[in-house]
Structure 1
Amino acid sequence: MKIGAKTVLAVLCIFLIAIVIGSSCTEATPPQQEEELYYLVGNFTAQGTVMTDAQQEAQTTFSGMIAFQVVSAPQGNLTMSLGWVNLIADGVPTKMGDSGLIGLTLMADEYETEYDSQQGATRADFSTKLHYELIDQVAGYPQLQPEGEMDNFPSYTEKMAGNLTGAFPENLQAEDGNSAPFAGDIDLIVADSSPILGSLIRVRFHLELVFVFRVTFCQAIRIQPVFIGTGPDDPDRTGTAFDTLMTRADELWDRCGTERCLKFTVLEPIYLDKPAYKVLDNSTEATNLRAEVNVDNAVEIFVVGEMSESLACSWGGGASFSSGTEAAKIVSCDQQLSVPCPCPVDCRDFCPCGGCGVDPDTCGDLNLYHLAHELGHTLDLYHPPDASSTADSIMEPSGFCCDNPDVQSAKNCRNADNPLLYSTLCILAACSGSPDIMD
């Protein structure tokens, strides 16, 4: 039997149509859904108790932020981990005196959290780093190995361990903006075999707050500038370099955006009418200055006019104290933007950029990223090669006659921590940048 050309053509057309239809059907198949990451975040204030070494339970006020990381599976199943507990509390009386402000942060990046979707029961066991200002007053600061400049004075800390227990609603639905009421308790007990002071034994308080699901999570820390002078109209006041230094700090830490959104909320300056502080001659004067102002929910930045040559060279023109804790403070100077020319002789022993005393670029309007570096210390980052930070980044020490590197790293962003960090709406504090070093 002969097959005509028309028949062949018809069969071929039918075959091609089938291929097209089959291809269309394949393309129309919906893609497989993937897991989604959310943050379940809440700020809080609560009343509770602290058991002290005097074996008395003292009433105090707790405030802070708690945040969970929540992974939502395609079927709606949720896996939760506790990612942040940033907590501060008013001081309580102890055998050695008032504890001063108390601060706690998580010791690990995250802690597994049990959530029963049928009943809402929730539990997370975790450990925290504990600090209170009395530790600094009694024990002082640990001596770090010199790394070119001694601008970081971190605190001794203690350890507490315990749990968060309570209940969310049943069958939580992870969706941006959804709220999730929570009622429960935090109970922590000292977990150090040989604590630095051992003044605080147990922390307990009840929580009732509303968490909110977020696809992006923004955190901020308050900054309290302290200038020397009678007020903003004082032509001889200090703090003339602050706005420039703060702008550069904002810009550099904004580069954490693709890793984590971190912002600084700058409060109105406090003016200290004590002209003797305009020039700091030694570390004792700096200690006295730091004691002049205490703002419980902020990092105080004291800006003097200048420092003695020995102090400026030793600290690189500024230093951080009680770094990474609720008591963190910075002492800086306006000379960061007017480094003497030529670079002071005592500062030339540490000159990572080279040419100090010879190169005109090592004096004058120089240390633009000084404050960004010191704020890194307040966020519990140390100089490289410490594991908390990245080599060749903003956390490299620079001395007084070189600027810190204009370089941010993903590791710096991830490791930044302080109990004063709180959750803020990303619409008010959006981050847009990316780290220069992705590690």
Structure 2
Amino acid sequence: MKTKVAIIGAGPAGLLLGHLLRSEGIDCVIVERQSAAHILSRIRAGVLESVTTQLMHRLGLDARMNAEGMIEHGFNLADDDRMIRIDIEALTGRYVTVYGQTELTRDLMDAALDRGLPIVYEAGEVALHDVDGERPWISYVVDGQSQRIDADFIAGCDGFHGPSRKAVGDHPARTFEREYPFGWLGILADVAPCHPELIYANGPRGFALASMRSPTRSRYYIQVPQAARIEDWSEDRLWDELAARFDSISDRGVARGPALEMSIAPLRSFVFEKMRRGRLFLAGDAAHIVPPTGAKGLNLAASDVAYLAEALIAWFAKGDAAPLAGYEARALARIWKAERFSWYLTKLMHRFPEDGAFEHRMQRAEIDYVATSRAMQTAIAENYVGLPL
């Protein structure tokens, strides 16, 4: 098989890139190691920056998002029993949309066939070849048969553990990482949210987040030690803990219901600054990971592929190589700003085990400053709603 762009990974990054290229008449193929059902079974974040929603609008794939998504004009930081509302619409003129990543992925998958975007699912043993040459190619196995795709370019949108980053090579001087000494224990349930807007809470018991996927589906998290095990947490124990955190500060208090999913997610910051090798380009989690604080993961992937699609379109339309040459620097400039914001909000709202009384006082002083400074609230709102491309 031959194509213009071979895309590895059918998550939001790969699907968005594929649709952006097909909208300009550029042939591409997506190769994915998992099944479509497996991809849609994964529970992910659901706060979309305006950059991401604008891409869906540009593609004409925003009908369900517009009908079912929840517009959020602000969010809240809680310090013990004090609520600090960040009015992102008043401060920036924009807003975020709560719409599950799974639903956005479904919209992109459902439109692929009609728009001439082929996706090969359950492709095993994916390998990249000749990425430094003018005609790179990928190999994979489906149903026991070896397959090959020749392309002009390869886009690695296959996440942290995929083969694309490994194909770029070992560049330890270009790798930056921070592992946090805690994780997030989360529960998803079909119950009404306790508050109409998200609450990031910091109290003596540690961090907690009250969020939602819809008016009838809630997503909650609490900070747990890095060594915590899901087996040690019953649903009742977690609901009790959430009630202790949010009943006194939320509009409605925590409603309980059977868990649709419970899991513990580790927190890390990771940037791989080598986003290109020859005709291979990385985008999304293949190049960077952010803590979920601030909901930047999916949105960073969207900005990466917006830059990459623009560069590839310029190449195929005009033979202009400059945007491809500038892709890495352009993407990294936005990546590091998003990493900084996620790191800042994580540091502000979590209890770190190594911190003592002085650090807790400094944290309290920072939250006090946020509460009383419009300039500080504006800076937080600008980052939360998404910096411009």
Shorter-normalised TM range: under 0.3
Between Structure 1 and Structure 2, the one with more strand by share is 1
Structure 2 length as normaliser, TM-score? 0.23
Structure 1 length as normaliser, TM-score? 0.21
Q: Which has the higher contact order (CA 8 A, sep 6+)?
A: 2
